[in-house]
Amino acid sequence: MKLPDINILDEKDKRLHTISKDVTFPLTKEDKENIRKMIDYLKMSQIDETREKYNLRAGMGLSYVQIGIPKRIFVVVEEIEENEFEEYIIINPKIISTSIEQVYVGEGEGCLSVNREVEGIVPRFARITVEAFDMNGNPFTIRVREDISIAFQHEIDHLNGILFVDKIDPKNPYKNANKMREI
């Protein structure tokens, strides 16, 4: 497998703080190709052999704005068994409900646009329900939990011009950790 030709923006790039625009259908051929490249990149980043070969950081999600295109599209790829993946292609997402329970990633969230260690936690909902569209413009509703819920919220933040580092309290990076569940 060849490494897809995508350029992931660094956190210093001001475009990452752009609010992405809704997508109109049908998707362009270029949009479909970019979605496929993003999914392939994420898969390759999760396979030890290709991650080492191409010196990649493991990633679970990518939003369109991270490749410099401010459209409301993101993908999440979860390895469910060795080299077997669940793919989520989410277009024009809207969170319609959340759990009361909040969680955070114990070792800290990461981001393919943030190439440094970041101390602190980001409060996230343990479960969310999202309305979105698939690549053919068909509406659907999906309820996600735990890791996938965090990934969805992280990517939706990207679409709203927010990086996870923006959500960490610089004076108290572990603020309210005792009120949330670590995952």
How far apart CA 173 and CA 9 sit, in angstroms, is: 25
Domains for the chain: give ranges and CATH numbers.
14-182 (3.90.45.10)
Q: In what order do the strands lie in the sheet with 102-104?
A: 124-125, 102-104, 181-182
Q: What are the strands, taking DSSP E only, across the chain?
A: 61-63, 73-81, 84-98, 102-104, 124-125, 127-133, 139-145, 181-182
Consecutive 10-residue averages of pLDDT for the chain (183 residues): 92 97 97 97 95 94 98 97 95 98 95 95 97 98 98 98 96 95 95
Q: What 8-state DSSP symbol labels residue 16?
A: G
Catalytic residue among 30, 79, 155, 182: 155
Is 155 catalytic? The answer is yes
pTM of the model: 0.96
